[in-house]
């Protein structure tokens, strides 16, 4: 009978000597994952050349993210990890849910989507995310518990490098009056998407601060402050709200966060970040702390929501036209008039799933997300809080997805898969998730 988290009844075939496991986080696949924001920034660098055609495609489709995910899958296969074998360790309902999502995606691409090219592109992206998550879980199964303490400082380090690159990028803009501030361009196609990087960095840093010894506590608070400052500077309200709410949920569910140092870390980072953001505010209506305050005080609900209420209404009406299996991936911009041929998603993950794969696929996707979050919460409690950063980051991303396109844009979607895989993969450390090599004795028996 299956355990309520994973199939914990191992048969011993996959047990390994802990000392033989690769304990180092400094391997190519983990470094590439941590440096994803840096890679995105490097290939889209050019403060005065936002409209350079190749870079526009790189920004919008986040091709480096897909390439890194594919490399990680390849490395996993080369080291003996088999994603399908990892999949079999999921509970049967979770396996069925994933299978249903993939089936609906392929079916709507072939027979329903009005723009089959976009549907095929987005469906393949979803498949890559799934394979990436299963591969990461299998790779985590080959590590020791020490890995859980090392991976998130590495990821935060990569995000801090991105922040430094952004500072240099802004400083190198020769003519701020004509620069395209609305798009910004450094690894993103819209300045708001900077909040994806900053929100993940802030949530992870706050979790690490909660777990840190006094001598390093303020280092993580400083990191969280810098990320908060980036969110305020870019005028990104949703990530600030998501990270703050995630901290409240974390305090309610995790004993490690029910401490005064959690409140101090969060309060210091918010106040410090708000003040830092005032050092330089571009002359553009999308930026700055004041913009965030005035937009909330406007009084018009649709204006406060930046047009989301109108998009949500249009999404609900479109869903009613194909409520069972939806329109297919990448079709929102075509089937919702309120999208005005501009918006590719409804800024809400529930409505996005309903448009893409209808009530059947939407319930599967939301159910899988709820299942993953609940079991990650249980695993985090059982792991002496070593998994707290992944739990807090996932919580913040799910909350942000209520008001933004977390599951449309590739980097945050990949990070959702990563946080789930990094956590659930710890349950595979004594499970047979890779091809077992024949021992000398086995070969001798076969030869005989």
pLDDT in tens, 104-151: 999 999 999 999 999 999 999 999 999 999 999 999 999 988 899 899
Tell me whether residue 11 is in a domain.
no
Dist. CA 145–CA 436, nearest whole Å:
22
pLDDT in tens, 182-228: 999 999 999 999 999 999 999 999 999 999 999 999 999 999 999 99
Contact 234, 192 (CB under 8 A): yes
Residue 237 has pLDDT above 70, yes or no: yes
Residue 5 has pLDDT above 70, yes or no: no
Tell me whether residue 9 is in a domain.
no
The tally of CA atoms less than 13 A away on the side-chain side of residue 406 is 28
Tokens representing 310 are: 């109108």
Q: Directed axis angle between helix 388-401 and helix 410-424, to 10°?
A: 140
Backbone angles phi, psi at 81, to 5 degrees: -75, 135
| Number of domains composing the chain | 1
With helix as H, strand as E and coil as C, how does the chain read?
Answer: CCCCCCCCCCCCCCCCCHHHCCCCCCCHHHHHHHCHHHHHHHHCCCCCCCCCHHHHHHHHHCHHHHHHHHHHHHHHHHCCECHHHHHCCCCHHHHHHHHHHHHHHHHHHHHCCCCHHHHHHHHHHHHHHHHHHHHHHHHHCCCCCHHHHHHHHHHHHHHHHHHHHHHHHHHCCCCCCCCCCCCCCCCCCCHHHHHHHHHHHHHHHHHHHHHCCHHHHHHHHHHHHHHHHHHHHCCCHHHHHHHHHHHHHHHHHCHHHCCHHHHHHHHHHHHHHHHHHCCCCCCCCCCCHHHHHHHHCCCCHHHHCCCHHHHHHHHHHHHHHCCCCCCCCCCHHHHCHHHCCCCCCCCCHHHHHHHHHHHHHHHHHHHHHHHHHHHHHHHHHHCCCCCHHHHHHHHHHHHHHCCCCCCCCHHHHHHHHHHHHHHHHHHHCCCCCECCCCCHHHHHHHHC
Tell me whether residue 4 is in a domain.
no
> Quick one: average pLDDT of 86-93?
95
pLDDT-above-70 percentage for the chain? 89
Print burial letters for 58-92: b (CB count within 10 Å at least 16), e (below 16).
bbeebebbbebbeebbebbbebebbbebbbebbbe
Contact 391, 250 (CB under 8 A): yes
Dist. CA 59–CA 185, nearest whole Å:
7
Q: Residue 121: which residues within 8 A CB-CB, separation 6 or more?
A: 330
Tell me whether residue 6 is in a domain.
no
pLDDT in tens, 420-433: 999 999 988 866 65
**Measured torsion, CA atoms of residues 372, 378, 380, 381, in degrees rounded to the nearest 10:** 170
Dist. CA 297–CA 299, nearest whole Å:
6
- 386 vs 200, more confident: 200
Q: CA distances (Å), 39 to each of 73, 162, 230, in order?
A: 18, 9, 19
Contact 180, 170 (CB under 8 A): no
Dist. CA 233–CA 231, nearest whole Å:
5
Tell me whether residue 158 is in a domain.
yes
| Whole-number pLDDT of residue 64 | 95
Dist. CA 27–CA 25, nearest whole Å:
6
> Quick one: average pLDDT of 153-159?
98
Domain around 135: 24-434
Dist. CA 326–CA 297, nearest whole Å:
37
> Quick one: average pLDDT of 151-171?
97
Tokens representing 35 are: 């440096």
> Quick one: average pLDDT of 409-415?
97
Tell me whether residue 3 is in a domain.
no
Tell me whether residue 2 is in a domain.
no
> Quick one: average pLDDT of 329-355?
97
Tell me whether residue 248 is in a domain.
yes
Q: Residue 318: which residues within 8 A CB-CB, separation 6 or more?
A: 327, 332, 335, 336, 355
Q: Is the model's pTM score more than 0.95?
A: no
Contact 111, 330 (CB under 8 A): no
């Amino acid at each position: 009978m299956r355990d309520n988290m994973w199939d914990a009844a191992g048969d011993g075939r996959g047990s390994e000597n802990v000392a033989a496991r690769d304990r180092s986080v400094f391997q190519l696949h983990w470094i590439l994952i941590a440096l994803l924001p840096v890679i995105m920034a490097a290939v889209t660098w050019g403060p005065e050349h936002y409209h350079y055609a190749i870079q526009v495609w790189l920004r919008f489709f986040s091709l480096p993210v897909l390439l890194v995910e594919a490399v990680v899958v390849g490395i996993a296969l080369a080291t003996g990890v088999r994603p399908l074998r990892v999949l079999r360790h999921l509970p049967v309902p979770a396996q069925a849910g994933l299978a249903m999502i993939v089936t609906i995606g392929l079916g709507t691409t072939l027979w329903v989507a009005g723009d089959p090219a976009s549907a095929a592109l987005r469906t393949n992206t979803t498949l890559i995310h799934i394979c990436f998550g299963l591969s990461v879980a299998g790779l985590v199964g080959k590590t020791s518990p020490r890995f859980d303490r090392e991976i998130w400082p590495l990821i935060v380090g990569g995000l801090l490098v991105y922040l430094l690159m952004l500072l240099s990028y802004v400083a190198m803009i020769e003519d701020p009056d004509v620069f395209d501030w609305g798009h910004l361009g450094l690894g993103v196609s819209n300045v708001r998407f900077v909040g994806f990087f900053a929100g993940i960095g802030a949530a992870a840093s706050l979790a690490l601060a909660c777990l840190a010894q006094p001598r390093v506590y303020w280092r993580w608070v400083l990191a969280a402050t810098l990320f908060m400052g980036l969110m305020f500077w870019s005028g990104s309200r949703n990530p600030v709200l998501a990270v703050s709410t995630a901290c409240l949920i974390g305090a309610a569910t995790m004993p490690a966060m029910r401490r005064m140092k959690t409140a101090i870390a969060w309060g210091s980072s918010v106040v410090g970040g708000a003040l830092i953001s005032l050092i330089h505010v571009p002359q553009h209506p999308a930026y700055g702390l004041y913009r965030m305050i005035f937009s909330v005080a406007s009084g018009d609900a649709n204006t406060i929501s930046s047009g989301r209420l109108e998009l949500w209404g249009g999404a609900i009406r479109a869903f009613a036209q194909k409520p069972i299996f939806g329109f297919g991936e990448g079709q929102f911009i075509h089937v919702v008039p309120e999208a005005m041929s501009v918006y590719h998603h409804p800024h809400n993950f529930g409505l996005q799933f309903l448009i893409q794969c209808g009530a059947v696929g939407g319930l599967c996707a939301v159910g899988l997300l709820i299942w993953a979050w609940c079991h990650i919460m249980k695993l985090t409690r059982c792991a002496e809080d070593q998994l707290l950063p992944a739990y807090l980051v996932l919580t913040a991303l799910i909350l942000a997805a209520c008001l933004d396109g977390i599951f449309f844009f590739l980097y945050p979607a990949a990070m959702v898969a990563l946080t789930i895989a990094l956590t659930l993969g710890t349950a595979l450390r004594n499970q047979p998730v890779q091809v077992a090599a024949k021992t000398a004795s086995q070969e001798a028996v076969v030869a005989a």
